[in-house]
Chains A and B, each alone.
Chain A
Amino acid sequence: MGRTLAEKVWDDHVVRRAEGEPDLLFIDLHLLHEVTSPQAFDGLRKAGRQVRRTDLTIATEDHNTPTLDIDKPIADPVSRTQLETLRKNCAEFGVRLHPLGDVEQGVVHVVGPQLGLTQPGTTVVCGDSHTSTHGAFGALAFGIGTSQVEHVLATQTLPLAPFKTMAITVDGELPEGVTAKDLILAIIAKIGTGGGQGYVLEYRGPAIEKLSMEARMTICNMSIEAGARAGMIAPDRTTFDYLQGRDHAPKGEDWDAAVAYWKTLRTDDDAVFDAEVHIDAASLSPFVTWGTNPGQGAPLSASVPDPASYEDASERLAAEKALEYMGLTAGQPLREITVDTVFVGSCTNGRIEDLRSAASVLEGRKIADGVRMLIVPGSVRVALEAVAEGLDKVFTTAGAEWRHAGCSMCLGMNPDQLAPGERSASTSNRNFEGRQGKGGRTHLVSPQVAAATAVLGHLASPADLSDAAVATPAGV
């Protein structure tokens, strides 16, 4: 019987297999950041261990870093200590680090791909659940806890329990104005936040094949929001073209050997998935969340659901609590929800195409009075590219703030936060209670919806902007 993409990559990394034990898998790439690594390095130190493969390990600073005044000392002493701890650990153990101020610094899941380190058929881990992003390249990539970070540092391997496979086939074509973010939000709403538990998802079908690498990363990034172990997309010409010429992509004969191998990384025709889901791309429209988990979403054209409409008691209770926290009432049209803040950025939507997409909507327009809009590039490289294209000017002319690279308002670990009761439209990945700051209320949206929302002051798509048609950049 044939094998799925995920099974092929798994099999190619088995270091040791023994009856009654989890497979021991080799890890090709280990990404580190300041939040989930300090206790792991401490563990190594206590046991007198070294980092086994510093040549397969790389660190960046992202969660705690400010996006303003980066040349000044970090104001929060606890954040400063955590960043200094990473610097000390990387120096002591010989790990390559891109600190704040470095040209390669940025959100860890933006940095890996842009350096060409994330490659098809590799295993990629990081103490960060959004490691699923790297699956866009046909890598088996997943988030791990700090104990596992220590395990990989010490052994470059992980003992892993077997997974199940789920095919998510997206047929047809995404309508104009419907993006990868809308698609993944619709998928999560369909299968639920626990729907992917125990599974590696493979996104496939014509609508997926048409997506750019940036858009594929947006999709795979949010696999964890459906509870999945990982999300993957088979590598193809789009993948190879993205990689060719990048700093760490194979060169010369290695490139040819790599591409020959990468071309084998497709699910065999006779492979059987443990579960299958079908989505009709043509049926989709811009999608936003109304609740406090990423599965609580609906088309922008819909209204806030009535909790009483849920048959399942725990879902009904969850919806009631969500509406209470979000300050919404059942039946309220989603388009009438007004926001205080709009955030464009994060490992979900902080790449150059995302910024282009938001800029295309904001060009020649102004954001609404009283709305604060933050544009935070995912990495310094993304920022430089955006500046070279003049996107920063589009943003600042529209009245948005152009910030330095980092995780920023995706999570409340740095100065960019919502105040209690404030409401945001955010291109990030989690609308959990307090995720963007204590008491903050989050609506997850695409970069295009974020930009249109900033202009109108309420949840909106570019189609709602009456003054001019907005072109959709291809592939986003």
Chain B
Amino acid sequence: MEAFTTHTGRAVPLRRSNVDTDQIIPAHWLKKVTRDGFEDGLFEAWRKDPAFVLNQEVYKGATVLVAGPDFGTGSSREHAVWALQNYGFKAVISSRFADIFRGNSLKNGLLTVVLPQETVDRLQKLVEADPTAEVTVDLVGRQVRAEAPGHSKLTADFELDENARWRLLEGLDDISLTLREESSIVTYEANRPSFKPRTLEV
């Protein structure tokens, strides 16, 4: 996984709640067997509408998505995270993320930042007022910062559990970390009851 320390880029406001992973990447894209090439499928149905925010010239090249509450609900498809990354997003900010989506994002180095809804609203207004405003998502300092002329400077601290943060900052591979503890797995396996199910043909 690529490490995430701090990122500064322009942001795009997505004023919708309950954006499910079927909207982020529709099912027919899931037939691909790679982790790349999903960028054209990102929000595919909504992008057919010229007025959709991602189609607006001013938000071209934005790398931070400022989304409504309950982002990433529904299907567990990690393709949703890959699609956001393939398109160029480095971070997503929302007041609430669905659990599986959040887990998937942090395993791929897409930083999902939880801020209070009120702060998300302010940030959306700020980047709507000035689409050229730069937003910094700083994982080292656990802070989001944004500034635009005519708006008071926005500074918001966020929380992320220390272990997840460390893995992101270092870009660590979970499997290698777990395999350092292989002896614990072997011990656990040796003590499992014999009645536990096995999948071998009977």
Spell out A's residues near B (CB within 8 Å). Answer: 15-16, 20-22, 24, 26, 28-29, 35-36, 38-39, 42, 47, 49, 52, 54-58, 63-64, 76, 78-79, 81-82, 85, 96, 116-119, 122, 127-129, 142-148, 150-151, 154-157, 159, 161, 193-194, 197-198, 224-225, 227, 229, 247-250, 254-255, 257-258, 261, 293, 295, 314-315, 317-318, 321, 411-413, 430, 432-435, 438
Q: Does B57 contact A (CB under 8 A)?
A: no
Q: Nearest Cβ distance between residue A43 and chain B, in whole angstroms?
A: 8
Q: Is the CB of A261 within 8 A of B193?
A: yes
Q: How far is the CA of A318 from the CA of B178 in the complex (A)?
A: 41
What is the bound-complex CA distance between A327 and B62, given in angstroms? Answer: 33
When chains A and B are docked, how far (Å) is the Cα of A225 from the Cα of B69? 15
- A42 CA to B33 CA in the complex, in Å? 9
The 9 lowest CB-CB distance pairs between A and B, nearest first, are A145-B104, A38-B33, A145-B78, A143-B76, A258-B195, A254-B195, A250-B195, A147-B107, A58-B199
17 interchain pairs (CB within 8 A)?
A15-B181, A15-B188, A39-B33, A55-B198, A82-B31, A96-B199, A118-B197, A155-B182, A156-B189, A194-B70, A197-B96, A197-B99, A198-B99, A257-B195, A321-B16, A413-B30, A430-B22
Within 8 Å CB of B196, what residues of A? 28, 119, 122
Q: Is A155 in contact with B175, judged by CB distance below 8 angstroms? A: yes
Question: In the complex, what residues of A have CB within 8 A of residue B33's CB?
Answer: 38-39, 42, 81-82, 85
Q: How far is the CA of A96 from the CA of B197 in the complex (A)?
A: 14
Q: Is B58 an interface residue (CB 8 A)?
A: no
Find out whether the CB atom of A20 lies under 8 angstroms from the CB atom of B163: yes
A434 touches B22 (CB 8 A): yes
Distance in angstroms between the alpha carbons of A321 and B45 in the assembled complex? 14
Task: Determine how close the nearest CB of chain B comes to the CB of A427; give it in whole angstroms.
Answer: 17
Of all chain B residues, the one with the shortest Cβ separation from A295 is: B18
**Are the C-beta atoms of A35 and B178 separated by less than 8 Å?**
no
- A122 contact from B28, B174, B197, B201, Cβ within 8 A: B197
Interface size, B (range): 35 or more
Which residues 11-49 of B sit at the A interface, judged by CB distance below 8 A? Answer: 15-18, 20, 22-23, 26-28, 30-35, 45
Closest-by-CB residue of A relative to B31 is A78
Query: Measured between C-beta atoms, what is the minimum distance from B169 to chain A in Å?
Result: 15
CB distance from B71 to the nearest CB of A (A): 10
CB-defined contacts of B75 to chain A, threshold 8 Å = 128-129, 411, 430
Query: Are A15 and B185 closer than 8 Å at their CB atoms?
Result: yes
CB pair B178–A36 under 8 Å, yes or no, is: no
- For B30, what are the chain A residues with a Cβ–Cβ distance below 8 Å? 35-36, 63, 413
**Is B81 an interface residue, CB under 8 A from the partner?**
yes
Asked if B179 lies at the interface with its beta carbon under 8 angstroms from chain A, I say: yes
Contact of A154 among B23, B179, B200 (CB under 8 A): B179
Query: Once bound together, how far apart are the Cα atoms of A21 and B70, in whole Å?
Result: 26
Q: Are A55 and B200 in contact (CB under 8 A)?
A: yes
Known: A15-B181, A159-B178, A314-B68. A148 touches B73 (CB 8 A): no
How far is it, in angstroms, between the C-alpha of A315 and the C-alpha of B192 when the chains are bound? 48
When C-beta atoms are compared, the residue in chain B nearest to A57 turns out to be B199
Contacts of A257 in B (CB 8 A): 193-195
Give the complex CA separation of A82 and B33 in angstroms.
7
Chain A residues within an 8 Å CB radius of B174: 147, 151, 159
Given the complex, which residues of A lie within 8 Å of B129, measured CB to CB?
Answer: none
| Contact B181–A16 (Cβ < 8 Å) | yes
Taking a contact as CB atoms under 8 Å apart, the answer to whether A148 and B107 are in contact is: yes
How close is A54's CB to chain B, nearest CB, in angstroms?
8
Contacts of B99 in A (CB 8 A): 197-198, 227, 229
Q: A26-B188, A56-B199, A438-B45 are in contact. Are A293 and B178 (CB under 8 A)?
A: no
B20 touching A293 by the CB < 8 A rule?
A: yes
User: Which residues of B, 156-202, contact A by the 8 Å Cβ criterion?
Assistant: 161-164, 174-175, 177-179, 181-182, 184-185, 188-189, 192-202
B151 to chain A, nearest CB (A): 21
Residue interface bits B55-76, CB-to-A below 8 A is 1, else 0: 0000000000000111001111
Bound Cα distance from A15 to B163, whole angstroms: 18
B142 contacts chain A at the CB level, 8 A cutoff: no
Q: Given that A127-B76, A261-B193 are known contacts, is A318 also in contact with B103, CB under 8 Å in the complex?
A: no
Complex interface: chain A residues within 8 A of B182 (CB): 155
Identify 10 new A-B residue pairs, CB closer than 8 A, beyond the known A26-B192, A432-B23: A38-B33, A39-B33, A47-B175, A49-B175, A122-B196, A127-B78, A143-B100, A145-B100, A146-B104, A159-B177
Residues of B within 8 A of A22 (CB): 163
Q: Which residues from chain A contact B197 at a C-beta distance below 8 Å?
A: 28-29, 56, 116-119, 122, 248-250
